Amino acid sequence: MKLKYIVYPLLVLLIAYLVYNKFYGAGAKEKKIEPASRKGGKKPDKTVPVNVMLVKDTAFSNAIDITGTIDANEQVDLRSETAGNITGIYFKEGTHVNKGQLLVKVYNQDQYASLRSVQVQIKLAEIVEYRNRVLLQKEAVSKEEYDTSLSSLNVLKSQADLIRAQIAKTEVRAPFSGIIGLRNISPGGYLSPSSSIATLVNMDPAKITFSVPERYLPLIKTGSKIHFNIESSPQNFVGTVYAIEPNINQTSRTITVRAKSANPKGLLRAGSFAKINLTLEQIPKTIFVPTESVIPDIKSNKVFVVSNGVAEPREVKTDVRTATGIQITDGLKPGDSVIVSGIIQLKPKVPLKIVKIIK
């Protein structure tokens, strides 16, 4: 029983000592004295270190990256206008053919026989017409007789023209110069108007077809330059816009544009995928600032500029955006110092420490 009367007082004394030492000991006094010493010492540095860019006028090319397709300048699936057995094939696959060159001939001996028969009749009709014309001048025949002979001659000539047209339909000729593809026919085979002979393609110049978002429509015009690449060649190609579709696609809200590019070496093939850089406009004099320096607001945008060593907010109007910069159309002038780092710490009238000046 006596032991508890000794232990309990000792525990109370120990706890009291610890409490006293915490609040009234030497360590506590140092902590209380420390703020006082700070009050009398040097004030903390409140300046914000920043990088600054000097505003200047720069030239800018407004361009967009899009995709397109290489198309042939001219392309046609060759077919015959008349049916018949093939009597001759006059081209080699994959070779160049000239406009008007005979490519395929269908059996036409029947038409030639009919033509020779009509030509004989024409010669006889010409003799009759000449004789009646002389007699008419001598008033030996009536005008009606002469008109009948002249009409017969003209009818025969019309028949001859019709047969010649039928003969022309038995010959398939190249409608334009180009490269002819693989043939789908053989000598002696039967050719009908629904049968495909081969494909004729003209690829010089090549056409590039692509679509542009509707909002760029005011900036696109004939004569605009495009630069493009294709997978099958490391060469950079240049083209010129020559036609713009008048209607806007209601599904994609884009407008179709077509350009031409010289293709003397035949490197561009129809159907190829093209990566296109389209120059929309050239701006010779404008202001661009880094994207991170512009602070978007609900109603406007703003930047911070250096004014008498402190930060000054300034509202700006923006236009074109690129991967690294934003065009400023109003609010800045050449010579202004735009803050491009430490934007989060900035407030109006905050003192600044300029670490680096970007020119």
| CATH number of the domain that residue 334 is part of | 2.40.420.20
In a domain, 11, yes or no: no
| Domain count within the chain | 3
Does 230 reside within a domain? Answer: yes
pLDDT recorded at residue 297: 79
Alpha helix positions (H), 138-254 = 143-169
Q: What are phi and psi of 237, to 5 degrees?
A: -110, 155
Tell me the residue range of the domain where 131 lies: 78-200
* DSSP 8-state symbol, 219: G
Quick one: 312 and 277 in the same domain? Answer: no
Query: What is the average pLDDT value for the chain, to the nearest integer?
Result: 84
Residue 32: inside a domain: no
* Domain assignment of residue 23, yes or no: no
Residue type, 223: G
Band of residue 4 on the pLDDT scale cut at 50, 70, 90? low
* pLDDT, tens digit (0-9, with 9 covering 90-100), for 303-349: 999 988 888 999 988 887 777 788 888 888 888 889 888 888 888 88
Residue 12 C-beta-side C-alpha neighbours within 13 Å: 6
**Backbone angles phi and psi of 216, in degrees to 5:** -90, 0
Q: What confidence tens digit (pLDDT) does each residue in 129-143 have?
A: 898 888 888 888 888
End position of a domain, from candidates 219, 254, 282: 282
What is the rounded CA–CA span in Å between residue 264 and residue 241?
A: 19
Both 348 and 307 in a single domain? yes
- For the chain, report the end-to-end CA distance as a whole number of angstroms: 89
Residue 335 belongs to some domain of the structure: yes
List the Cα angle 203/181/88 in 5-degree steps.
130
Query: In terms of domains, do 205 and 189 share one?
Result: no
CA distance 307 to 343: 15
pLDDT of residue 200: 93
Positive or negative, the CA dihedral 171, 172, 175, 176 is negative
In a domain, 330, yes or no: yes
Kindly state whether residue 45 falls inside one of the protein's structural domains.
no
Note whether 318 and 209 are same-domain residues.
no
Paired tokens of 290: 């880094």
The residues with which 76 forms a beta bridge, in sequence order, are 200
Given 150, 176, 200, the domain boundary residue is 200
Please tell me the distance from the alpha carbon of residue 319 to that of residue 326, in angstroms, as a whole number.
7
Same domain, 334 and 350: yes
Output the CA–CA distances (angstroms, integers) from residue 20 to 8, 13, 27, in the order listed: 19, 11, 11
Closest to 236 measured CA to CA, from 247, 228, 244: 228
Categorize the per-residue pLDDT at 44 as very low, low, confident or very high, splitting at 50, 70 and 90.
low
How confident is the model over 190-234, as pLDDT tens digits? 988 888 999 999 998 999 999 988 888 887 888 888 889 998 888
User: Which CATH number belongs to the domain containing residue 230 in this structure?
Assistant: 2.40.30.170
Domain boundary pick from 282, 316, 342: 282
Report d(CA 285, CA 333) in Å as an integer.
12
**Residue 9 to residue 168: CA distance in whole angstroms:** 132
* Residue carrying the six token digits 């407030």: 347
Q: Do 85 and 188 meet the contact criterion of CB atoms below 8 Å apart?
A: yes
3-state SS, residue 85? strand
Examine residue 187 and state whether it is found in any structural domain, yes or no: yes
Residues 183 and 217 in one domain: no
The neighbour count for residue 175, using CB atoms within 10 Å, is 13
Summary count for the chain: helices (H), strands (E): 4, 21
Which range (26-35, 108-117, 249-258) has the least confidence? 26-35
Rounded to whole angstroms, the Cα distance separating 158 from 175 reads 26
Q: Are residues 188 and 100 in the same domain?
A: yes
Residues 227-263: tens digit of each pLDDT: 899 988 888 999 999 999 988 888 888 899 999 999 8
Distance of CA 288 to the CA centre of its chain: 25
206 and 111 in a common domain: no
Bridge partner list, 63:
279
What three-state secondary structure class fits 336? coil
**CATH number for position 123:** 2.40.50.100
